[in-house]
Chain A
Amino acid sequence: MSKTTAKLMQGNEACTIGALAAGLEFYGGYPITPSTEIAEICAEELPKVGGKFIQMEDEIGSIAACIGASLAGKKAMTATSGPGFSLMQECIGYAALTEVPIVIINVQRMGPSTGMPTSLGQGDLMQARWGTHGDHPVIALAPGNVKECFELTLRAFDLAETYRVPVIVLSDEVIGHMREKVVLPDPSEIHPLRRAAPATRAGYKPYAADPDGGVPLMAPFGEGYRWHVTGLFHDESGKPTNKGEIADTLLRRLARKVDKNADILADCFSESLDDCDVAVISFGSSAMSALSAVRRARAEGVKAGMLRLRTVWPFPEAIVDKVASRVKRVIVPEMNLGQLALEVERVVGCRAPVTRIGKVNGELFHPDEIYASIMENK
């Protein structure tokens, strides 16, 4: 059987296979709907490749164990949904400050609180960026179909390893549970990246890097580097500090790791944007409905276009800015009360009116809902 045969695959399954393709070696998680399939497949597959799976006592423990495993040199991942993602926030900040690569898959459901566990929501968009306390770098990718669950999880690992930041895959209940025909690349075409390691123990300074967004070299625990990791602000040697100027330099460097590479990180799907009057900007499952609506409007001669964000954080400002400069109207459908819209409005400014279509009943948009908005004042 050819390894690249078309296969019906579930979104959560594709995320997991993407992680395995990236070289996943450690999974720590806690059961939560609608992400649990990821844990189940990891529990089954990881031992086959010599990897480790552990079901921790809660989501705090899960992400903590992943950070520990990553420090021990392993590629580590956890997966969760809203309530668990909330519990993980403190340690996401810890990973950001200590620069430990980890991947967190958040299969979003309808919140807040326990909410509607089996229903769709996209209300964690802002939390993915600002959930932990303090300024911090973070990257979040949002798959818009099953194939992208594979591709973006794979990319999430590469980005985590390259920039040493926590990377969040912001999936959702519909994308996670739907099954779609996918053809995956041949494993020989996949070349996952791994964090850069120091060449020698002598003079190792674990946090020495170019202040303008440099990424320090990372030594695995247990190899004789004997370095110190702390969630306190620290100097180049890892020593805790209360000195304002050291803290300032460190935090600016961390932020620059992401900001400086915004162009490389920006990643969007677009269709019919070149000559459009009405641009629909969305992400995740909402964008599937939106694309259907845009295509229908186009077929009827309306100049509508679609921009779907695959990278949501850092927000792809340059791309949205370009769209804003030439359209008469922007529509932002999302399964929340207007989180993506806040960012879009910030970038669009007064150049074009932005119509928010927020939906919070747990049911994916019907394309007609977005089509109706496109046809208003077209």
Chain B
Amino acid sequence: MRVEFRLSGSGGQGLLLAGIVLAEAAILEDKNAVQTQSYGPEARGGSSKAEVVICDCDIDYPKATDPDFLLALTTEAYRSYAKGMKKGLIIVDSSVVLDPENKTRTIALPILQTATDVVGKKVVANIVALGVLGGISGIVAPANLEAAVKNRVPKGTEDLNLKALRAGLELASHAKVQE
């Protein structure tokens, strides 16, 4: 079955990398995966969007059409993408100001704060978010997520990133949907 993810936030938050790792974890399970992105001229700041499509089948169209999971780390990203959601689940950072009019199922989790407080590094928020997405979607086994993280992150930062991933999976296990 085709499952679509959209990871959104601001440039420099590392969501592209999170998307790549998610896709690579899926490949480790012999699934098909495609990752795309859109970006502006800013290397840092500005809006950033990465999409991942995972399927057992052949993936013809590479972009998300109606995401099953939208991750929004900033209010701006939430405002841009939450409205178009039909069937999926929205996962936001706790700092995001929610739109009371939006009736789509939404989960708010302290992703950025977890990176700072639990892992001790703000920069690993993307990997915390990856853990959250992996945990909630259940699309890939945690062991494959761990293997994919280890493959991709810079040498010497494996432990830090694995800690971030586990913190994200932990967050996911307690997550409750706000109806």
**B61 and A118 within 8 A (CB):** no
Residues of chain B lying within 8 A (CB to CB) of residue A364:
63
Residue A8, interface by CB 8 Å: yes
Residue A270, interface by CB 8 Å: no
Residues of chain B lying within 8 A (CB to CB) of residue A228:
none
**Residues 1-49 (chain A) with a chain B CB within 8 angstroms:** 6-8
Residue B95, interface by CB 8 Å: no
**B39 and A8 within 8 A (CB):** no
- Chief secondary structure at chain A's binding surface: mixed
Interchain CA distance A367-B36 in the complex, whole Å = 16
**B39 and A292 within 8 A (CB):** no
Residue B120, interface by CB 8 Å: no
Interchain CA distance A291-B58 in the complex, whole Å = 11
Interchain CA distance A292-B66 in the complex, whole Å = 14
**B20 and A179 within 8 A (CB):** yes
Would A178 and B41 be within 8 Å (CB), given that A291-B60, A364-B63 are in contact? Answer: no
**B61 and A181 within 8 A (CB):** no
**Residues 1-53 (chain B) with a chain A CB within 8 angstroms:** 20, 23-24, 27, 30, 32-41
Identify A8's interface contact among B23, B36, B37, B60, CB under 8 A. B23
**B35 and A179 within 8 A (CB):** yes
**B60 and A178 within 8 A (CB):** no
A297 CB to nearest B CB, Å: 13
Would A292 and B60 be within 8 Å (CB), given that A8-B23, A177-B37 are in contact? Answer: yes
Residue B102, interface by CB 8 Å: no
Residues of chain B lying within 8 A (CB to CB) of residue A6:
27, 30
**B65 and A366 within 8 A (CB):** yes
Residue among B32, B36, B63 with max Cβ neighbours from chain A (10 Å): B63
Please give the number of chain A residues whose Cβ is less than 8 angstroms from any Cβ of chain B in the complex. 21
**A181 and B60 within 8 A (CB):** no
**B40 and A180 within 8 A (CB):** no
A168 CB to nearest B CB, Å: 23
Interchain CA distance A234-B1 in the complex, whole Å = 61
Residues of chain A lying within 8 A (CB to CB) of residue B60:
288, 291-292, 295
Interchain CA distance A291-B63 in the complex, whole Å = 13
Residues of chain A lying within 8 A (CB to CB) of residue B40:
118
Interchain CA distance A246-B158 in the complex, whole Å = 67
Identify B35's interface contact among A8, A285, A289, CB under 8 A. A8
Residue among B24, B27, B30 with max Cβ neighbours from chain A (10 Å): B27
A51 CB to nearest B CB, Å: 26
Would A289 and B27 be within 8 Å (CB), given that A117-B41, A179-B35, A181-B32 are in contact? Answer: no
Interchain CA distance A285-B38 in the complex, whole Å = 14
Interchain CA distance A153-B35 in the complex, whole Å = 21
A173 CB to nearest B CB, Å: 9
**B36 and A177 within 8 A (CB):** yes
**Residues 110-150 (chain A) with a chain B CB within 8 angstroms:** 117-118
Nearest B residue to A117 by beta-carbon distance? B41
Residue A174, interface by CB 8 Å: yes
B147 CB to nearest A CB, Å: 13
Residues of chain B lying within 8 A (CB to CB) of residue A289:
61
B5 CB to nearest A CB, Å: 13
**B34 and A180 within 8 A (CB):** yes
A148 CB to nearest B CB, Å: 13
Which B residues contact A (CB, under 8 angstroms)? 20, 23-24, 27, 30, 32-41, 59-63, 65
4 cross-chain pairs, A with B, having the tightest CB-CB distances, nearest first: A292-B61, A179-B35, A291-B60, A292-B60
Given contacts A179-B36, A295-B60, 7 further A-B contacts (CB under 8 A): A7-B27, A178-B36, A178-B37, A179-B20, A180-B62, A285-B62, A368-B65
A-B contact pairs, 15 of them (CB 8 A): A117-B41, A118-B38, A118-B39, A118-B40, A177-B36, A179-B34, A180-B33, A181-B23, A181-B27, A288-B61, A288-B62, A292-B60, A292-B61, A364-B63, A368-B65
